Structure 1
Amino acid sequence: MIFPAIDLRAGQSVRLYQGDFKQATLINPDPVVQAQQINAAGLQQLHMVDLDGAKSGRPENFATITAIRQAFTGTIELGGGIRTYELATRYLELGIDRLILGSVALTDPRLVKRLLSEFGGERIVIGLDGTNGYVAIKGWLEQSQTKMSTLMKTMTTSGAKHFIVTDVDRDGTMQGPNLALYQELQAQVPTANLIASGGVRNLTDVQVLQASGFKDVIIGKALAEGGVTLAELAGVTEC
C-alpha cells in the first residue's frame, strides 16, 4: 500500500528535515483539507504523526487528529508520543486503524506486548527510526545503542508483524530510500513486513522498492515538492 504522510505540528501539516524540529517546512495550514485531497485522488491510506506528541509524550494534536479521522475515508495509521495504554486505547476508540509504537517498543516493551496481545499485529505497528542501523527514540532526539534488527526480532516474538523503518539521515532529504538497510533487515527477520519510510523522491523510487519486495511505502516530502503526484500514487495502488 502507498501511504501519503501528514506530519502534525501545532495543528498544521509540516515536514521536518532529518527529524530536526528547527528545520520545519509548512506543507498545509489545514491538514483536514490535505487529507480530503488524498481521498479525492483515490487513495484510502494515510500515515499520520503527531510530531509535538513524539517530543512531549502527550497527545498534542488530538483535536486535529479527530477532525481528520472524521473527514478521511479509509485506513489511518498514527504515531507520535503513544506511550501509555490509556492513550493507545483512546486513539483506537477514536477510530484510528493502526497505531505506530516507536520509543515504547524499546523503553516499555511490556506495554507493547500487552497491546499486541489485546489488539493484534494488524492494529499495532512498530516504528523503527534511527541512524546507521541503531534505534532513535523520543521523537528522534535520542540515539540508543540498540540495533534495529535486535528490536525487530524481539517484537516479532511478541506478535508484531509490521515495521515502519525510517532512516533518519534520509528523512526529508530527497536523497532516495535506504534500500540496503531494508534488505539487510529483511534478511535478518524474513517474517516481518517492512514498510519503507524516508527519502523517497519520485515514482521510480516507489517502483524500485516494490520490485525489491517492499510493497508498503510512506511518502511525504516528495508529494509536497512535486516529485510525485497523488494521481501517480493512486495509479500504483491500483496495479
Structure 2
Amino acid sequence: MICIPAIDLLEGKAVRLTQGAYDSAKIYAEDPVVLAKTFEDAGCTHLHLVDLEGARVGIVQHMSVLEEIAQKTSLTIDFSGGLSEIGHIEDAIHAGASWVGIGSKAVTDPSWVKQVIETIGADRILLSADARDGYVATKGWTQTSNVTLTEHIRTYLDAGVCRMVVTDIGRDGMLQGPSIELYKSLLAQFRGDGLNLIASGGISGIADLESCQAIGCAAVVIGKAYYEGHLSLEAIVGFETLHSGQN
C-alpha cells in the first residue's frame, strides 16, 4: 500500500481545510514546492496535489506550481482541481502529472469525461469520488449531487477508470479515523471489477494505515495527520517500506 502525502493549494500556499470548508483553511507552508521537496527527501515517492482554488472556481489556478514541483522533484504526482477543459487535462500531463483527477465534471458532464478518456486514456485518470452522506459532492465540496457514490463508481469502472480516491467529507480533516466500513463495502462490491481504491480523509495515525492496509486499499492519502504532527514522514515512509509489495 502506497502512502501519499497531500498538498492542497490555495492562493499559492499549502493549506488544509476541515470537512471541505474554505473558511477553515489553515496555512501550513508558504512554499508548496519546498514542501514537496521535503516529502521527496524523506523518501516519499508520490504526491496528491489539489488545486482547491481551481476546484472552487472551475478553472485551474496553480498549473505553474504543478510544473515546478514536477521539474524539481521526481515525485509521481496526481493533480486535480479545476480541470474543466480537455486542454487543461493535456496541460497538466504536459506539466508533469502522472494522473489527472476529475471530480465535479464526472458528475455533471459524463459525456465530457468520455472525451477525456478517448483523448488521454482511462489509465491516466484518477476519479475523485468525494461523498457526503452517501452522495457525490461537487464544486469543491460546496454542493451535493443526487448521484450515489456506488452508482458513480460503477459508471466509471464500466468506462475503464479503475483508480479512484474516495473521500468521506464528514471525516476529512477531523483526525477521527477513516471510513473503514465504507471502504470495506466498496471493495467487497467492486474489487473484482478492478477498483483501485485510494482512501482519503480521517487518517490520524499508524493504526489507521494498518486498517486501510488490512482491508485492501491500494493507497492512502495523508494530510492533516502529518501537518498536525500525528504522523511523521519517517513513520509514513517506514510503514510503506515495511508493507511494500502487499495488496
TM-score by length of 1: 0.97
1:209 lines up with 2:209 in the alignment:
no
* Cα distance in structure 2, aligned partners of 1:197 and 1:79: 14
- Check whether the contact 1:133–1:181 (CA below 8 A) recurs between aligned residues: no
Q: Which runs of 5+ in 2 are unaligned?
A: 243-247
Secondary structure of 1:47's partner? strand
CA-based RMSD: 1.1
1:184 lines up with 2:173 in the alignment:
no
Alignment-derived partner of residue 99 in structure 2: 98
Q: Which runs of 5+ in 1 are unaligned?
A: none
Equivalent residues in 2 for 1:70-85, closer than 5 Å: 70-85=71-86
Alignment-derived partner of residue 232 in structure 2: 229
Alignment-derived partner of residue 193 in structure 1: 196
* Cα distance in structure 2, aligned partners of 1:145 and 1:195: 23
- Check whether the contact 2:128–2:165 (CA below 8 A) recurs between aligned residues: yes
Structure 1 stretch displaced more, 114-123 or 17-26: 114-123
- Check whether the contact 1:15–1:172 (CA below 8 A) recurs between aligned residues: yes
Alignment-derived partner of residue 41 in structure 2: 40
* Cα distance in structure 2, aligned partners of 1:95 and 1:155: 24
- Check whether the contact 2:66–2:96 (CA below 8 A) recurs between aligned residues: no
**Aligned residue type for 1:124:** I
* Cα distance in structure 2, aligned partners of 1:158 and 1:89: 19
**1:181-237 Cα deviation digits (max 9, x unpaired):** 111222222221111000000111011110111130000000001111111111122
Alignment-derived partner of residue 21 in structure 2: 20
1:155 lines up with 2:181 in the alignment:
no
How many residue pairs were aligned?
239
Alignment-derived partner of residue 238 in structure 1: 241
Alignment-derived partner of residue 123 in structure 2: 122
* Cα distance in structure 1, aligned partners of 2:116 and 2:234: 36
* Cα distance in structure 2, aligned partners of 1:94 and 1:62: 7
User: Identity over aligned residues, as a percent?
Assistant: 38
- Check whether the contact 1:149–1:189 (CA below 8 A) recurs between aligned residues: no
